Amino acid sequence: MKQDIKSMNLPELEEAMKALGEPKYRARQVFTWLHRGAKTFEDMTNLSRSLRARLDEAFYISVPTVERKQVSARDGTIKYLWRLRDGNCVETVLMRYKYGNTVCVSSEVGCAMGCAFCASTLGGLVRRLTAGEILDQVLFTGLDSGLPVSRVVMMGIGEPLDNFDAVTRFLELVNHPDGLNLSMRHISLSTCGLTERIDKLASLHLQLTLSVSLHAPDDETRNGIMPVNRSCGVDKLLETCRRYDAETGRRISYEYAMIDGVNDTPRHAELLCEKLRGMGAHVNLIPLNNVEESPLKPSTKEHVRRFRETLERAGIPATVRRSLGGDIDASCGQLRRKQILERR
């Protein structure tokens, strides 16, 4: 069985070189090639032929292929469906903002969390991605599009904190000066709220932005749309968030998908204000994206406006997320879902 070389960090590559009887600096050469998107060891022309052959015997290089690619005529958003080594597919979206091109990556094939409004979870969790496979999405989206990538959001398919080790390893790789060298401050990670893992993440003191998918201020509403809430309610989640803030000095941003008649009433808005007061929280209101299989509908513009005003009156900054790529199924597992259904 060949080993996955792209998921290795520099110290591990140095160990591997040592085991092959090679000098330590070779590791950095290989690392640099991998992070520039080299697809074969053959391409690594500053290594001897014999070393390239020995690497090829022991390791494989993950290389996703473009299964589908859609470019939005409206705003230039590009959505990729990547086919992985084992045939599974994941989505990556490139969004073009004034402040830089942002890549939204998937962390898992499918998702086990079961949120009622989300297309990614409809077929359950198939498997977790490796660190290299998460990195590949950033790398090959940049290479294929020819666009420089300056920010990464972990808001694609999957629950990043359910794949903790691969995700934190990916962060180490993508941040590495000999690799893509992306600043942690340009990375956001979104979670449905796995509290023990949020504590574990806090202990790493990373300077990334943590987003928590709150979507409701009370257990009754949140239990109804997010099964994860049944094992840990809203109050315990927000306590964990306060600990995260204190431990890392980084404020959390809260996502709130607005669902007509479910979580968008004045009572929900007021309760949310009460729960977030004094936390320095920022709330991102996202009008729900329609998912064909789900009866849930987006809130009206009027209700979104009313909700936002209530938050602002309470001194809680709130923004309404601008929707990009609406013409290309560019959200939340929709393209992978379409592919699976068409294959049947």
Active site members? 91, 332
For 82, phi and psi rounded to 5 degrees? -95, 135
Query: Nearest 5°: CA angle at 141, between 56 and 251?
Result: 110
> Hey, which residues between 230 and 259 contact ligand SAH (CB under 6 A)?
255, 257
Minimum CB distance to ligand SAH, residue 286 (Å): 5
CB 263 within 8 A of CB 287: no
Q: What is the dihedral of CA 115, 236, 245, 165, to 10 degrees?
A: -50
- The nearer residue to ligand SAH, 269 or 286, going by C-beta atoms, is 286
In this chain, which of 286, 311, 318, 324 binds ligand SAH, going by CB under 6 A?
286
Mask for 41-80, x = binds ligand SAH (CB under 6 A): ----------------------------------------
**Residue 191 is a binding residue for ligand SAH (CB under 6 A):** yes
Minimum CB distance to ligand SAH, residue 159 (Å): 4
Minimum CB distance to ligand SAH, residue 105 (Å): 10
Strands, DSSP E only, in the chain?
Answer: 3-4, 59-60, 65-71, 78-83, 89-97, 100-104, 108-110, 125-128, 151-154, 187-191, 209-213, 253-258, 282-287, 318-320
**Residue 324 is a binding residue for ligand SAH (CB under 6 A):** no
- The nearer residue to ligand SAH, 17 or 212, going by C-beta atoms, is 212
What tokens appear for 242 in the block? 């306060």
Residue 343 CA to residue 27 CA, distance in Å, equals: 42
Q: Tell me, by CB under 6 A, how many residues bind ligand SAH.
A: 16
**Residue 192 is a binding residue for ligand SAH (CB under 6 A):** yes
Helix (H/G/I), strand (E/B), else coil: 237 = helix
Choices 32-40, 180-188, 262-270, 288-296 (CB under 6 A): range interacting with ligand SAH: 288-296
Residue 17 CA to residue 163 CA, distance in Å, equals: 28
User: Could you tell me where the DSSP H helices lie in 24-146?
Assistant: 25-35, 49-58, 131-145
CB 46 within 8 A of CB 29: yes
Mask for 6-45, x = binds ligand SAH (CB under 6 A): ----------------------------------------
- The nearer residue to ligand SAH, 61 or 286, going by C-beta atoms, is 286
In this chain, which of 291, 304, 318, 328 binds ligand SAH, going by CB under 6 A?
291
Q: What is the dihedral of CA 163, 166, 171, 173, to 10 degrees?
A: -170
Please provide the size of the chain in residues. 344
Minimum CB distance to ligand SAH, residue 333 (Å): 8
In this chain, which of 238, 332, 335, 336 binds ligand SAH, going by CB under 6 A?
332
> Hey, which residues between 92 and 131 contact ligand SAH (CB under 6 A)?
115, 117-118
- Contacts of residue 30, defined as CB under 8 A and 6 or more positions apart, other chains included, come to 5, 13, 17, 44, 47, 55
| Binding residues for ligand SAH (CB under 6 A) | 115, 117-118, 155, 159, 190-192, 213, 255, 257, 286, 288-289, 291, 332
